[in-house]
Every structure is written in structure tokens, then in C-alpha cells.
Structure 1
Amino acid sequence: MLIKNGIVFTEKCEFEPLSVLTDRGVIMGILPADAMIKYGGEVVDASGCYVVPGLTDIHFHGCAGHDFCEATAEAIRQIAEFEYSQGVTTICPATMTLPDEDIEDILRAAGEYAKDPADYGRAKLIGVHLEGPFISPEKCGAQKKELIQPPSAEKLRAWQSAAGGLIKLVTIAPEVDGAMECIRQLSGSIRFSLGHTACGYDAAVEAFRAGADHITHLYNAMPPFTHRAPSLIGAGFDTKGVFVEIICDGVHVSETAVRAAFALFGDDRMILISDSMEAAGMPDGEYQLGGQGVSVKGNRAVLSDGTLAGSVTPLVDCLRTAVKMGIPLESAIKAATINPCRSIGEDKNYGSISVGKAAHILLLDREDLSLKAVYTR
């Protein structure tokens, strides 16, 4: 396939008028816009569009009426199809704090599903994000406090085996007993993200030095940054190389706080996530998240006590919202493509329009950033 007449977001994270040649799901060439070539295959006219990499969501729980924690191939398939329709071509869905046997079932289902090579028309499952059960009861958010447990390296090894190696990210509260040792033992094979935590600056710095290198949904479920107690946020700022998730749905984080985050950490470290739950793509009503009832009205999803319970906003809409909030388009695209892929070690194959990488490509309207097409061939 030859995509021409578009403005391509290059691996240098700049826009240029170029043509992109793909074959059998791989990017084969990136050519000058005026290059004269003989080509007998499908030609896509991308006039009026940005040509950007497929999006990657490393933190979401479900969509289209399905929860990843259903632990079935059909649920994962439906989720992957909806994500693809919204421009997300690679996914790393998240679990919740659940009983051990439920977590094992989820991981086995994901491992089995990932073996299926026939994924055209569906986002590719490239990992699993274990968000719980190794979190703080003080900052459990929409997760079940009674099911929280101390971190265990032995248990994580067993779960990684059940998942067939798919666990790419584990959210952990560094102040709880066993957390530091777990990070030290496994950070060479599993990435750890600090989140759902009441930790202070010193504990966060220690965890980063032990091997953690992420922050889970910045600002949410953590102490605030203040001038005398900089907390996890300040520790992340002081530790170069730490990736930082943020939910730009217009509900979880204010416009000013979003702009401040990009200014504080820089666009090489920021990651847009949706943190969406099963109501994404569905009408208002009653849903569930990790076994808890959730009421959805408009773009808000809440538990019965009013606690925010994930978002109902697809990642492509979070990208548009970030731009409306004042984040440069180039920075927002980086934060939804190459940065999440780099953060979980999948940037060799995904995340940018580069020769040899998977041909995961979107066309976005240059006027309003609406999604015009998704290609993975």
C-alpha cells in the first residue's frame, strides 16, 4: 500500500510531506512527496490528513461493554476491535485488585489470546498492566480495599508464567511491606510503576533507585505536590527517565495541571492513557469495574460514593482534548504513540512511522483531528 499526499509524523516527531510504502503489515519505505515510482498496489490519497502512528494505550480496563477482567477471549476480542476502530492499534490493558484466582484466570486468558496471529481489524495485545493488588489501602481509588495484599516477587513470577510473559507493567505502592524488595528482584524483567500510593518523596526516590521507572496516572490516587512535601510527583521530576501517565479526559485532571505536567516532565516522558472502563463507547447507564457498580453520565464514571471509576473516553479523544488544553500536537502524538511503546520496551516494532516497524498507521483530519482511517497492513 502507498499512502501519499499526507503530512507524515516522522520518527523525529516532526511533520513532513512524505509518502509511506507498506507491504504485508510492515513499513517498507518513506519517500519524498514528489518521488516518482512505479507502483501497482493499493494507493491511499491522504490529502488533508496527518499520517500518524497507530496509538498505544498502556492503561485501560475495557470498552464497548466489556471488561478485560472478564477473562475470556471473546471479551478481549471485542475490546481489541473497538480500540482498533478508535485508532488504538496496540494495547496493554489493566487488571484490578481481585482475588488471586481471578487474576490468574485473566492472565491465562490474555496469554492464550495473544497466541492468535489473526489480528487484522483488532488492536494487537502487546502486554498486560497489573494495576493492583500491590497498592496502598489509603489510596485504593475505585479498587476493593479488602483484596489488597503485600507485594510478592514469588507470586509475580508465577503470574508472569501464567501470562506467558505478557506482564509488562505493575503498579505498586513503594511504602507497603515487601515493595522495595519486589522491585529490586524483578525490575530487570518487569517494569514497575508507582501509583495508588501514599508515599512521600524519599520512599519514591528509593523505589526509583531500586528500578521502578513509571508513575501511574499522575495526580490521581497519590499525595499532592507542595513546596515542602514534593511527594511522588517531585521524586519523578528529579529522577530522569521516569515515564509519567496522565488521563486527559477533561475530568480526572484540570487543563492547568495537564499543561504543568508536560512543562515539568517534558514531552519525552509523558504518556497519554485513557484509563477507560467498559462504558467507553456505550450510552449512559449502570456498568461495573473490577466487580464494583459504576454509574455513568456524560463523561463521568463514578462509584456509589462518588469516587471516579476510570474514564469513558477513548485515547484518541484524550489526544484531542490534550491539544485543546494547549499541548502542542507533536507532543500529544508522542505521548500516545512512541512514548508508551518505549516505556514498556515495545518501541522496536511499534510507535513510530519507521522503516521495518509494523505498519500501524492512522489518518487524522488536519482541521479537527477526527479519525479518518486506520491501517495495519
Structure 2
Amino acid sequence: MIVKNGKIVLEDKVIEQGWIKIEDSKIVQIEAGTTDLPGLDVEGKWILPGFIDCHVHGGYGVDFEFGDAKRFEHFSKNIVQEGVTTYVQASVTNSTANNLKYLTEFQNFMQQKDSQVGKCLGAHFEGPFISPDKKGAHELSLLQKPTIAELQKLMEVNPQLVKIITYAPELQNGEFTESLLANQILPSAGHSNILFKDFEMHHKQGIKHLTHLYNGMSGISQRDPGLAAAGLYYDDVLCELITDGIHVDVETIKLTYKIKGYQGICIITDAVNAKGLPDGNYKLGNLNVTKTGIKVFLSDSGTLAGAGATYDHNVRVMLKTISNLKMNELIYMTSINIAKQLGIFEQTGSITVGKKADLVILDKNFEVVKTFVDGDIKFEREKK
């Protein structure tokens, strides 16, 4: 297949008019200029690497807790309309017994690769190993300290399924972090009340990822700086950022970008099963939540409970918020940084000869027109 007449966004530049040749699911040629070869004419639209969401609970009526093989497949089919080609499905805090039950259901889906449309890498356990002081929309009675014994129970279902675990570093002595790294699971600090000064030892040990910066963590203070301050300080810590315009104020997004730059941020949604559904009342684990527009909150307290925005919405907010943001800088935050963090950058995450043809086509308003997964069109917007 030839995809031609597009603005191709590469790691270091934008080809203002160019074309891409795809064979056997991979990119085999990238050229500037025009071609008379038959193919898909994108008529000057943007061609970006497919978005990678490493922290999405669900959407379209599906999440980790209420999923089965068919429902996970439904989510996989729908997420591509957001321009997402690769994702990690997140959980909320559950009991050990339920975590094992849900993980088994998830495994059934993961074993059916042919049923996947958007590519799911595995599970992101956000809880139960988090701080009661920063629990957010997680059930207090189910929280527990991170232990190797609990990790081993998850690994027994399938050692390849768990890709990321969010936990409060201060609740363990370092052994849990070591075990995650040994099992090639990304350790992510989040829902934590740790102080900046105490995070240093955990950073040295290997925590280089923060779960939804600012949300669910000790913050920035002139006398008692916490995890958010540490995330901004360490250049090698990649910070997830929910750029829906609700979870993080746009002025704070500007500050974050000024400090971290495009190589220190990965855009996420933190979306829950209510995403893509009408406003109303839903469940997040055992908790009652309400969706109003793209805002999702605990019905009894108003606490934010995940999100209702799509990935492409968050991309548009970022582009609107950061003036003069270059497109080849944007793709670091949507694809490149997290692909490197998850160890998949040799296969996907940028438009490069030899990599999978995971692409998203955006119009001038940065809305998704088409999504390619492994070289095949998996979403195509209806013509207006």
C-alpha cells in the first residue's frame, strides 16, 4: 500500500509533502515529494505514529473489572477511533481474589491476538498497593502494602500479562521495586504521599515513571515538596500527564512542559468505562461514579474518578495549550517516549523504515480521519 500526499511527522522533522510505502504490515519506504504510484491520497493531512495510551482503564462500556474476552475485544475495536494503536489496560483497586479473577478473564482476551484491533500490551495495575492518604477514587478497605507475595500471585496467572504497576514507594523497603524490575514490569510511583527527599533512594533503585503527575500524590510545597516536585526535578523520570483540561489546569500543563520538555512527558487518558457513553451513573470497581461530559467523578463526594475524554481530545488540548508546539515534538509525548519506556520502540512508536505501520491520519483540526494498525486501516471516519 502507498499512503501519499501527506505531512509526515518524523522524530526530527516534518516532511511537508511525502509518501509512505507499506508491505507486510511494515513501513518499507519513506519519501519526500509526490508519486504517480496508485495509493491512498490523504490530501495534505498529517501522518503521525499511532498514539500509545499506557494508562486507560476502559471505555465504551468496558473496563478491566467488567471485562471478558468479548468485551475487551469491543474496547479494542473502539479505541482505534481515538488514533490509539497500542495501549495498556489499567485496573483499579480490587481484592486479591478479584484481581486474579479479572486477570484470568483478561488473559483469555490476550491469548486471542486475532481478535485485537488496537494492540493491547498487557495490564497496568493501579492499586491496590497505594497510600490511603492519596487513594483518590480507590476503595480504602481494599488497599494493601506492596509485597512480593502479592506480586507472585499475579505472576502465577501469566508472567507476561502485567506490564506496569503503580504503587506508593514509601510502603515498601525496595524489595518490591527490585522484584518488578527483575520481572520486566515497569515500576511507577503514584497514589503516594512520599516526600521529595525520600524519593531519591527509590529513584536510584530504578523508579523512572510517575502515574498521572499531580493527581493522587504529594505535591509541590516550599517546605515539604513531594512526589510531584521529584517528578519535575529528575530528567530521566517520565511523567504521565492527563491533558483533558480537567485533571490538570492548562497553566500547570504549561509549567510542566517548560520544566520537563517534550521528552519528559507521556500523554494519557486515565479513561474509564463511561468514556464514549451518554452522561449518567456508572461503576468504577465497586464505587458509584457519575459522568457529565468528559468529567467522571465519585457520585457521593465529587472526587475525580478517572476520565471520560478520548486520547485525541487530550492531544488537541495539548496543542492548544502549548503555543508553537512542533508536531515532531508532540509525537514524543504521544508515542516515542512511552514506546521507549515499555521497550517496544524497535517495533513501533515512530514512522521509521522497518517498523510496524501503526499510523494515525489527522485533519487540519487534529481530528482522527484514519487509523492504521500493522498497515491495515482499522478506523475510517465517515465523510461529513
**Could you state the TM-score of these two structures normalised by the residue count of structure 2?**
0.92
2:77 counterpart residue number: 81
Distance 1:287 1:13 in 2: 43
Alpha carbons 2:92, 2:128 under 8 Å: kept: yes
193, 197, 221: which one aligns with 1:202: 197
Task: Count matched residues.
Answer: 370
Is 1:184 matched with 2:182? no
Is 1:371 matched with 2:368? yes
SS in structure 2 opposite 1:354? coil
Alpha carbons 2:219, 2:229 under 8 Å: kept: no
Deviates more, 1:104-113 or 1:53-62: 104-113
Amino acid of the structure 2 residue aligned with 1:230: P
* C-alpha spacing 1:141/1:5, structure 2 compared with 1 (3 Å): same
284, 292, 306: which one aligns with 1:289: 284
Q: 1:143-192 deviations in whole A, cap 9, x for unaligned? A: 1011001111232133134134121111010111x252211233242111
Deviates more, 1:314-323 or 1:14-23: 14-23
In the TM superposition, 1:151-170 aligns within 5 A as 151-170=146-165
Distance 2:21 2:181 in 1: 38
How far residue 119 of structure 1 moved from its aligned partner, in angstroms, is 4.3
Deviates more, 1:84-93 or 1:159-168: 159-168
Distance 2:227 2:161 in 1: 27
How far residue 106 of structure 1 moved from its aligned partner, in angstroms, is 2.3
Deviates more, 1:221-230 or 1:290-299: 221-230
1:277 counterpart residue number: 272
SS in structure 2 opposite 1:212? coil
Distance 1:251 1:179 in 2: 34
* C-alpha spacing 1:175/1:250, structure 2 compared with 1 (3 Å): same
How far residue 243 of structure 1 moved from its aligned partner, in angstroms, is 0.6
Distance 2:165 2:143 in 1: 14
How far residue 203 of structure 1 moved from its aligned partner, in angstroms, is 2.1
Distance 1:223 1:234 in 2: 8
* C-alpha spacing 1:110/1:164, structure 2 compared with 1 (3 Å): farther
C-alpha RMSD of the superposition:
1.7
Alpha carbons 1:194, 1:204 under 8 Å: kept: no
2:379 counterpart residue number: none
1:17 counterpart residue number: 17
Distance 1:179 1:25 in 2: 45
Is 1:343 matched with 2:341? yes
* C-alpha spacing 1:13/1:286, structure 2 compared with 1 (3 Å): farther
Distance 2:112 2:350 in 1: 24
Distance 1:58 1:289 in 2: 18
How far residue 13 of structure 1 moved from its aligned partner, in angstroms, is 5.4
Distance 1:16 1:10 in 2: 11
Distance 1:13 1:64 in 2: 35
**Could you state the TM-score of these two structures normalised by the residue count of structure 1?**
0.93
Distance 1:282 1:215 in 2: 29
Listed as ranges, the gaps of 5+ residues in structure 1 are none
How far residue 301 of structure 1 moved from its aligned partner, in angstroms, is 0.9
Is 1:140 matched with 2:138? no
